[in-house]
Amino acid sequence: MGGCFSDVSGGQAGVGVGSRGGLAGPPPETAQQERNDAVDHFLHTRGLRDLYIPLELSLSASKLRNLDVLSKSDPMAVIYAKKLDGMLEELGRTEVIMNTLNPVWITKFTINYHFEIVQPLVFRVYDIDTKYHNTSVKMLKLNEQDYLGEASCTLSEIVTKRDRSLTLKLKYQNRPADAHLGTITVHAEETVASRAAVEMILRCSRLENKDVFSKSDPFLRISRIVESGISIPICKTEVINNNLNPVWKPVTLTMQQFGSKENPLIIECFDFNANGKHELLGELQGSMAELEKLSREKIGAHFYVPSSVRQGHKKMLKGQLFVDNFCEKIQYSFLDYISNGFELNFMVAVDFTASNGNPRSPDSLHYIDPSGRLNSYQQAIVGVGEVLQFYDTDKCFPAWGFGGRMSDGSVSHCFNLNGSLDECEVVGVEGIMSSYAMALHNVMLAGPTLFGPVINKAAAIASKSLSHSHNKYFVLLIITDGVITDAVETKDAIVKASDLPLSILIVGVGGADFKQMEILDADNGKRLESSTGRIATRDIVQFVPMREMQGRQTSIVQSLLEELPGQFLTYMRCRDIKPIFAHPAATSACQPN
């Protein structure tokens, strides 16, 4: 198995990059791209879609104010992204629609939806004076136009709406909403409409033996041939050691990856070599339709190798490729779920162990600065809470502390942050922040650091919710400064929870050695094993040390949340849970022609 994982990093460049070939839209900055390639690879190795989803926004407005005397306003909308520093960046302009107060603009905006960051948008509507009507909209000076009002929202507010349409009241800048100004409606649509995917089990027989002391260690790489003739790798299987008749784990390819069923694909079989020089065991060309035929007729296709004697000729090999269990299915995206009745429920647990230092002293990690500067704990709560609150309809968040000495002198490893004995929920991110500050006054810092009770409590809530609904997914944020005292206990709790709709995000603050945490986060491919021999069903932990993030462009929240949509989808897909109100139109559109 070891080879399989080392190969993931080695072959990453080859697989990760090409998979995004089919996407439209402007290329992101290079640094961003690199990071996303790695993430894409992570998602793709699990058969999942890209981390960010291109959306198409369309705008319409109604009951705009009439500024023209003899006719009606001639409105145009401008869409801006609000940057972290409050600056507005223009994303685009619609066309001008003449003489209407209820315009429906045709121009669409493509914007990448990132789950893990808050993306605030501002929409401004202008009345374009008749004398400018021959000017291209890009050249218009906005300060010369009549301003009809503006509205703002975040992208997640739009996509969590059932019909993905959000109507906002227009207002003047820095003034409350005014009924006379009318409304603007933003509708978001995924640009990649196809949800069709193919799942198949690939196996080979009688492969050539390339290794001296053992047998070949084969893996497959599937590439798509694009119009220009070059091939883009779209998928790679795991390495199966020492086997000339390998059967790989089911491979899922989306329509987005393989294009159409007729699109030619190249399937190459390699012998894995730890030094990265994988030897070709054979290759063959065929479309998805041909693979389907192999499966239906239960026949194999022979591999070829380029002939060494005659240029351009191919030599047929004994080795064959077989396709078992070819099935077409519909893969719903993360957006399909969250806009159709599914929600993420946020929970928080804060470390109250003594290693944080006395909260009253400014060098403590728990020090609450009177100037309002947030400490690391507050930063993590606000950062993650701000993103997740949009996906939680009631905004009631369970909040706990652990490792603190209660007023009765006992140390508790899971106490309610709000001080209540039976009610752990607080309202909103502000609720978490105020109960956190309150708990610092009422609870003495103690120890040891145990995660088990908090994880078990979160798992109990997740498990309880299953008895009446299947549309909730839980996210537990644990913020800690130190090394866990009992790794076995924590592992057992995580393994036990891995079957539930739960993900655990761990933020490490302060300067401790967090090596242990990396083991909990099963990113290296090793599945977590409990002391009783149970093995984690899936990876549910994501760990990020806060210091690693300092001085980097990506925020801690981004790296913390980037695995979440994938973890959510793995859970939903393996159980075949479908979005509650899947659009009939969307479903029929994915039927392959």
Q: What's the min distance (Å) between Cβ of 466 and another protein?
A: 5
Peptide bond before 218: cis, by omega within 30 degrees of 0?
Answer: no
Q: What's the min distance (Å) between Cβ of 446 and another protein?
A: 12
Our CB check for another protein shows the closer of 126 and 352 to be 352
Our CB check for another protein shows the closer of 13 and 460 to be 460
Residue selected from 463, 471, 554, 555 as contacting another protein according to rule CB under 8 A: 463
By CB under 8 A, the residues from 181 to 220 that bind another protein are 201, 203
What is the rounded distance in angstroms from the CA atom of residue 552 to the CA atom of residue 418?
A: 34
Q: Does 537 bind another protein (CB under 8 A)?
A: yes
Structure tokens at 66: 């009439």
Question: What x-and-dash track marks residues 4-43 binding another protein by CB under 8 A?
Answer: ----------------------------------------
Residue selected from 290, 499, 518, 523 as contacting another protein according to rule CB under 8 A: 499
Residue selected from 134, 532, 588, 593 as contacting another protein according to rule CB under 8 A: 532
Task: Please report how many Cα atoms fall inside a 13 Å half-sphere around the Cα of residue 270, on the Cβ side.
Answer: 19
Q: Does 414 bind another protein (CB under 8 A)?
A: yes
Our CB check for another protein shows the closer of 339 and 449 to be 449
* Contact range with another protein by CB under 8 A, out of 33-41, 172-180, 264-272, 491-499: 491-499
What is the DSSP annotation of 128-165? PPGGGTTS-GGG--GGGSEEEEEEEEEHHHHHTSTTSE
Q: What's the min distance (Å) between Cβ of 247 and another protein?
A: 5
Q: Does 573 bind another protein (CB under 8 A)?
A: no
Interface with another protein: number of residues (CB under 8 A): 43
Alpha helices in 275-362 (DSSP H): 288-297, 334-338
Strands 183-190 and 165-169: antiparallel
Q: Does 486 bind another protein (CB under 8 A)?
A: yes
Q: What's the min distance (Å) between Cβ of 534 and another protein?
A: 6
Q: Does 412 bind another protein (CB under 8 A)?
A: yes
Residue selected from 316, 442, 575, 589 as contacting another protein according to rule CB under 8 A: 575
Terminus-to-terminus CA distance in the chain, angstroms? 39
Neighbours of 585 (CB within 10 A): 8
By CB under 8 A, the residues from 238 to 277 that bind another protein are 240-243, 245-247, 249
Strands 411-412 and 404-405: antiparallel
Q: What's the min distance (Å) between Cβ of 12 and another protein?
A: 23
Dihedral of the CA atoms 452, 454, 455, 460 (nearest 10)?
Answer: 120
Structure tokens at 46: 């699990």
Strands 502-508 and 472-480: parallel
Q: Does 453 bind another protein (CB under 8 A)?
A: yes
Neighbours of 262 (CB within 10 A): 11
Q: What's the min distance (Å) between Cβ of 489 and another protein?
A: 6
What is the rounded distance in angstroms from the CA atom of residue 519 to the CA atom of residue 4?
A: 18
Q: Does 299 bind another protein (CB under 8 A)?
A: no
Q: Does 492 bind another protein (CB under 8 A)?
A: yes
CB 520 within 8 A of CB 490: yes
Dihedral of the CA atoms 491, 497, 503, 506 (nearest 10)?
Answer: -30
What is the rounded distance in angstroms from the CA atom of residue 407 to the CA atom of residue 420?
A: 12
Residues binding another protein (CB under 8 A): 1, 201, 203, 240-243, 245-247, 249, 411-414, 450, 452-453, 456-457, 460, 463-464, 466-467, 486, 488-489, 492, 496, 499, 527, 529, 531-538, 574-575
